[in-house]
Structures are given as structure tokens and as C-alpha cells.
A and B are shown apart, each in its own frame.
Chain A
Amino acid sequence: MGSVMQVVFDAASLGSLYALGALGIALIFGVMRLVNFAHGDVIAACVFVLLWPSVDAVAIVFAGNLPWFLLVPFVLAMGAALSVASEVVVFRRFRNANPATMMIASFALGFVIRYFLLMLYSSRPKSISLLPTLSQPVEIMGARIPLLQVITIVVTIGVLFGLTSFLRRTRFGLEMRAAAENFTMARVLGVRANRVIMGAFALSGALAAAIALILGSQTGTANIVMGANVMLMAFIATVIGGMGSLAGAVIAGFLLGAIAVVMQVILPPDARAFRDAFVYGAVILVLIFRPQGLLTARGTKERV
């Protein structure tokens, strides 16, 4: 029982990360058909804002010393700000470009962010003790798991609820959902394109920051490539979930997390190294049988 619970928690916490990432990508895809490859680098940047720029091996902690009730909003705000800045400076000029062009532009932007961080902070991972109290283990239903894992799951569920009620209950959320489904029609009804897109970027950036906080506390390091892996999985989750479908992205994120964890558990030791090959094989299978994704966003038209 305990060990089954343990696996469930492992899957849920890894899935949470992917789900949050997928949500960040799906939000932006929904409103402007942009597959934002810079998302992973925004995640990394959110961790680095806690440190003072220096190429020394020892990190000079800067904002990371704030108490948690200031630190969390600070990081979320930085993520949102960076993401909105990327829309204003770069993506706004690509509104009418084809998806491939936007995708490469976002990749180029990510490249710029990554090398900028590299120049400021060097490639050596910096250690930060982020929210250290979260590293203690707790016991739940016979499973002894790190507090952070519980918090990750709780935070993700909280974020999902918060986001859902934001999207359901506020006018801005309504406009965003309408825009995600049919952007042109929303504009014809007077919905301001720039505001909605900036809102989507702000939310997506804040989600990136949330991932950054979780990853930062979990790994204790700031590392310029730390967002890349989550981003790739999130990207896949977004597609499997049905591009543009927020609920689909979340479900697929959890699904991917579960597949990865279960593979790690059931594969024999010799095959475990090939875990990713099995995971990606599963991805191809899902796509073959449901190319439009698990949940298709109605009215989502895409041509790549």
C-alpha cells in the first residue's frame, strides 16, 4: 500500500511540473498560435533573478534572501514581466507570421536569454537554498515523501483551481477563453487583442515562475538549462492534450509524468536507461491514434 501510494505521489508530483509547463505553453498557443520555445529559458531566468549576476562559483544570493511571502510574489512577478516583455518586444511583431516563423523566432529569443544568463552567471550551476524547510519528509498514508512533493501537488492543484475560476468567473478570463477559441471572432466582438495576449503572456510567465520555484527548491540549483527538459515534456503534453485545450494540456502533463514514473518502476534495470525511448514511443502511439489530441479544442484551426 505504502509503496503504491509512493508511486502515485511520485507520478503526481512529476506530472504537476509537466502540467504547469504545458498550461503555460497552451495559454500562449491558444491566443496567438505561437509555440513558445523560449518558455524553458524564462523558467531558468526566473531562478536566476534570485541571484546577483556574477561568474564566480559561489552564488551571491540577492532576492533569494527575501522571506517566502515576499519571495514567491517577487518571482511570479518577474516571470510575468519577462514574459510580457518578450511579447511586447518580439512577438507583437509576429502576429501575422506563419507558425513556423514564430516558432523559430521564439527559439531565437530563448537562445538570446540563455546566452545572456550564461554571460552574466557562467555555466556552472549555482546553488541556492530556496525555501529549505520544504525539504523535510512527511508521512502520508504510509508513504514517506518530501514535503516539497506534497506542496508541488497542492500548489499545482491550487493553481489549476485558481486559473479555472479566473477563466470562468472574470470578464478577462472569459475574453481570454473566447480569444483562445476563436481569436478573430473575439476581436469582432470588441475584445482587445493586445490586452488578452499580454494577459496570456503574463499568466504563462507566472506559471513559468511557479515551475522555477518548485524546481529551484527541489534541486537547490540555478542552472541555465534547467527549464529545457520540463519545457520539452510540457510541449509534448500540450500537443498530446490537443493544442489550445487547457484542460487537455493539464491531463496530458499528468499522463506523461505518470508514464515516466511507471516506466522507471516497471522496467528491468538494463532497460531503464532506455526509459525515454519508451516514453517517446508512447508519445508517437498516442499521436497516431489521436492526432488531434486527447481533448480537441473546438474551433482550433492550425496549419503548420
Chain B
Amino acid sequence: MKRVIAVLAASTCLGSAAFGDDDRIVVGFATAETGFMQAYDKPAQDAAMIRIAEINEAGGLLGKQIEVVNADTKTDRAEGAKAGLSVIDAGADIVVVSCDYDFGAPAALTAESSGLISFFLCAESIKAGIQGVGPNSFSASVLAPVQGATMAQWAYEKKEARSFYRLLDTWTEYNKGICDGFDYMLPQLADATLVGEDTFLNEDASIAAQITRIKGLPEEPDAIMLCTMMPGAVSAIKQLRAAGINSMILNGSGVDGSYWLSAVPDLSNFYTPVQGSIYGDDPNAEVTAFNAKFKEATGGDPSTQYTYPGYVMIDVWAKAVERAGTTETAAVVAELEKMNAEPTLFGPRTFTSELHHQNQARYLIVETNAGKPGVVDEWTISAPIPVADLMK
């Protein structure tokens, strides 16, 4: 692993850090303002802006006001690279890129080759960091496998689930990540069995054939690990329940939010891991206070937990800059990598020189019961998922 990093570092030496203009502190957002990703980038970016406003109100960072520059990626990879170059040319000290690894990577790569820090708003692939983009890249969210592992362990420990079914939507890396985490955790749970598995595609008009396979089992499984995301998730959940399958459904954070629940009336026995609760029942009152602030700033409540990583991102970066006393990339990265269980509003954050992402995290468990979601528990997997397992 060390060698990988060395190679990566060598390959990015070409870039120079000549663009940092030291009179200003500039955060560059190379995110989607239009197109498909806009709905996902915007809330996280709004949260980031709230944290920036807080810091500026409190006197700024290193005594300077944080400035912001934007460029639209238009949910297009080639445009993403241009947007990255645009904000770098506009003097950005940190390049904030799209929520999704695939769409954020082009801009992150431009930052990397210019020797700047890039931060994914909420990407949950291990590649959104050292392993994909390079040694100066970070993600503000938690790895997808942690979600799958969290749900498996929690359901086993707290709900006595023993027979699991794995239903994977092969559409994205995120989906596969959830199931990878589930696969990692399952063998560690004594007498838990995988009674079957199947795949589908997010855009499939019908998953009737997959459902038939589940119904063909001698016994309904205790839990179905559903590794999917919007928009296909709603369809899959609705079809599962319409077919009369009442097993507990375990999910990744991608299905968080109440906005879609009306599609599956009276949904029950449905569990989602979240970093913070948008339902006003977060154990931490400050989260609820943040929600109010968010509503004040944007006119609406956060619609999913993916709003929160934007806030965490500016928070940890600003702390690292403060500690380093500079926005110089190497110094800030070094400070970030020293963070070990650094407290944030949405759980502790750890970065190391091996991993710029969270391979263990405290998750709140949201249960949806009769169509009403609410926090029922809190769970942290017993040990971090080893980087080697994340890379397989």
C-alpha cells in the first residue's frame, strides 16, 4: 500500500502549487449547478456555505474572510474537468467536487495535478481519495461498505436476523460498495447465512423475476440487504412489498429521506443508516438546530442526510488550516491526516495517511414504521473495515 502512495505521489509531482494566492482564502466549488447531479450537490453545498458563513461571522479563517468561487460541471465529466480548471484559475485553495465519485473525479484530478486539495462533497467510494484521485484528495462522507456492514451487524445483534438475502443493483459503484461491506461483515456473524442473492439494474422497469426468486425460497429471509439507490430504490421497495414480501429491508444511506415514502404507503420494517437525522429527532440537539439554520438559509428542510457531509467538510478543512497556519496543501493534508476521531456535528472523523475516508463511523439507525421514519438506535461497527478489504 505504501508503494502505491509513493507511486501516486511521484506521478502528481508534475503539477505545481503556483496558483495559491496567499492574500485570499478561496474555496472553489466545481459542482453540478444543473443536470442530474444538481439535486445531490446543491444541498451539501448549501450546508458547506452555512459553515463558511459561520466561520466568516466568527472572524474568518487565519484572520481572512473565506471567499467562494463556483463553476458548473453540468453533470458532465468533460465539463467537470473544465470546471475544476476554472475554479483553480480563479484562485481556489481547495477544490470541492461533486457528490458522486464518477462525476467528481475529473475536477478532483485537475486539483490533484495542480497540487491542490480536493474534497468530494459526499462520495462514498474508497476511490474518492488517495486510492483513486491521489494523496491530496478527501471525501467528507463515510464509505459505502461501512453502511452495509453496519446494517448487517446491527440487524444481527439487535434484531436477531440470521438468514439474509442480498439484492444488488449493479448500476453504480456505490451500490456495490454497500453489498461489499455486507459481504465483509456476514462471515463474521456466527450462524448467519446468506440464503440467496440476485442482481437487477436501477432502470429495470420491473424486478418481477428477482422477486419470484425470493418467493421461491422455502422460507422468507429475515432480512434483505438491498444495495441500491434512487431512483430505482423506490421501485424495488414498492415491488417487494407489493409482492407480499415482508422481510426486514436493510439499506444504505442513499434511500434516506421521507420525500419518497408516499410511494409506498405504510412502509414498515425498513431500516436505513444515517449520519444525522433530518426528522427532528437527532440525539444531538445541535443537529436539530442546524436543520433550522438550513431551513432559514435555503427555505426548506434538509431532504436527506447527504446534506450534512458538506458541513463536515468545511469544518474539518478549516480546523486543519487553522492548525497548519496556512492553506499550503502539504501542511493542511498533514493536519487532516492527524485527525483521529475528531468530533464533528455528525460524528467523529478520522483521516490517516492511508485513507482519506471513514472506514468506521457512528451511524444512527432510522426505522420506518407504518410510513413514519424515526431514529431508533445508534451503531458503530465493532472494528474499522481494513483498507485491504475495501480495495478488493
What is the interface of chain A, defined by CB distance below 8 A to chain B?
3, 6-7, 9-10, 13-14, 17, 55-59, 61, 118, 122-129, 132, 135-137, 144-149, 215, 218-221, 223, 225-226, 228-230, 260-261, 264-265, 269, 272-273, 276
**How far apart sit A136 and B259, CA to CA, in the bound complex (Å)?**
22
Q: How far is the CB of B166 from chain A (nearest CB, A)?
A: 10
A129 with B263: CB separation less than 8 A: yes
B244 with A144: CB separation less than 8 A: yes
Cβ of B216 < 8 Å from any Cβ of A? yes
17 contacts between A and B (CB under 8 A): A3-B212, A10-B206, A13-B208, A17-B206, A56-B300, A57-B257, A125-B230, A126-B260, A127-B261, A135-B242, A144-B243, A218-B206, A219-B239, A220-B235, A229-B204, A265-B213, A272-B199
| Contact with A127, one of B204, B210, B234 (Cβ below 8 angstroms) | B234
Q: A125-B230, A127-B234 are in contact. Are A59 and B259 (CB under 8 A)?
A: yes
B208 with A223: CB separation less than 8 A: no
Q: A219-B238, A273-B199 are in contact. Are A13 and B206 (CB under 8 A)?
A: yes
Additional 11 contacts, C-beta under 8 A, given A144-B215, A219-B231: A10-B209, A56-B303, A58-B303, A59-B259, A123-B38, A137-B242, A146-B242, A218-B205, A225-B203, A229-B203, A229-B204
Q: A3-B212, A59-B259 are in contact. Are A123 and B35 (CB under 8 A)?
A: yes
The 3 nearest A-B residue pairs measured at CB = A220-B263, A219-B235, A125-B231
Q: How far is the CB of A109 from chain B (nearest CB, A)?
A: 19
A264 with B234: CB separation less than 8 A: no
Q: How far is the CB of B148 from chain A (nearest CB, A)?
A: 18
**How far apart sit A148 and B263, CA to CA, in the bound complex (Å)?**
14
| Contact with B234, one of A118, A219, A272 (Cβ below 8 angstroms) | A219
A146 with B239: CB separation less than 8 A: yes
Q: A118-B35, A137-B242 are in contact. Are A3 and B261 (CB under 8 A)?
A: no
- Nearest B residue (CB) for A128: B263
What does the 1/0 interface line of B284-306 toward A look like (CB < 8 Å)?
00000000000000001001100
Q: A127-B263, A129-B263 are in contact. Are A122 and B39 (CB under 8 A)?
A: yes
| Contact with B36, one of A56, A123, A126 (Cβ below 8 angstroms) | A123
**How far apart sit A24 and B355, CA to CA, in the bound complex (Å)?**
52
Cβ of B170 < 8 Å from any Cβ of A? yes
- Nearest B residue (CB) for A261: B209
**How far apart sit A144 and B214, CA to CA, in the bound complex (Å)?**
12
> Could you tell me the dominant secondary structure of chain B's interface residues?
loop
Residues of A close to B205: CB separation below 8 A? 14, 17, 215, 218-219, 229-230
Residues of B close to A261: CB separation below 8 A? 208-209
Q: How far is the CB of B87 from chain A (nearest CB, A)?
A: 22
Cβ of B343 < 8 Å from any Cβ of A? no
**How far apart sit A59 and B37, CA to CA, in the bound complex (Å)?**
18
B209 with A7: CB separation less than 8 A: yes
**How far apart sit A195 and B37, CA to CA, in the bound complex (Å)?**
42
Residues of B close to A229: CB separation below 8 A? 203-205
B265 with A129: CB separation less than 8 A: yes
Q: How far is the CB of A220 from chain B (nearest CB, A)?
A: 3
Residues of B close to A147: CB separation below 8 A? 242
- Nearest B residue (CB) for A216: B263
- Nearest A residue (CB) for B263: A220
Cβ of B17 < 8 Å from any Cβ of A? no
A148 with B242: CB separation less than 8 A: yes
- Nearest B residue (CB) for A264: B209
Residues of B close to A215: CB separation below 8 A? 205
Q: How far is the CB of A19 from chain B (nearest CB, A)?
A: 12
Cβ of B264 < 8 Å from any Cβ of A? yes
Residues of B close to A148: CB separation below 8 A? 242
- Nearest B residue (CB) for A144: B244
Residues of A close to B160: CB separation below 8 A? none
Cβ of B319 < 8 Å from any Cβ of A? no
**How far apart sit A58 and B300, CA to CA, in the bound complex (Å)?**
10
Q: How far is the CB of A213 from chain B (nearest CB, A)?
A: 13
Q: How far is the CB of B138 from chain A (nearest CB, A)?
A: 26
B38 with A3: CB separation less than 8 A: no
Q: A9-B208, A144-B215 are in contact. Are A123 and B242 (CB under 8 A)?
A: no
Cβ of B382 < 8 Å from any Cβ of A? no
A122 with B38: CB separation less than 8 A: yes
**How far apart sit A75 and B209, CA to CA, in the bound complex (Å)?**
29
A127 with B260: CB separation less than 8 A: yes
Contact residues, B240-290 vs A (CB, 8 A): 241-244, 257-265
| Contact with A128, one of B35, B206, B231, B262 (Cβ below 8 angstroms) | B262
**How far apart sit A149 and B215, CA to CA, in the bound complex (Å)?**
16
Residues of B close to A3: CB separation below 8 A? 212, 216
Q: How far is the CB of A63 from chain B (nearest CB, A)?
A: 15
**How far apart sit A278 and B182, CA to CA, in the bound complex (Å)?**
28
A276 with B201: CB separation less than 8 A: yes
Residues of B close to A265: CB separation below 8 A? 209, 212-213
Q: A3-B216, A129-B265 are in contact. Are A220 and B244 (CB under 8 A)?
A: no
Residues of A close to B198: CB separation below 8 A? 269, 272
- Nearest A residue (CB) for B261: A127
| Contact with B208, one of A57, A135, A136, A149 (Cβ below 8 angstroms) | A149
**How far apart sit A230 and B204, CA to CA, in the bound complex (Å)?**
9
**How far apart sit A128 and B347, CA to CA, in the bound complex (Å)?**
33
**How far apart sit A256 and B33, CA to CA, in the bound complex (Å)?**
38
A123 with B208: CB separation less than 8 A: no
A129 with B262: CB separation less than 8 A: yes
**How far apart sit A123 and B100, CA to CA, in the bound complex (Å)?**
14
**How far apart sit A58 and B258, CA to CA, in the bound complex (Å)?**
8
**How far apart sit A273 and B257, CA to CA, in the bound complex (Å)?**
28
- Nearest B residue (CB) for A118: B35
Q: How far is the CB of A151 from chain B (nearest CB, A)?
A: 12
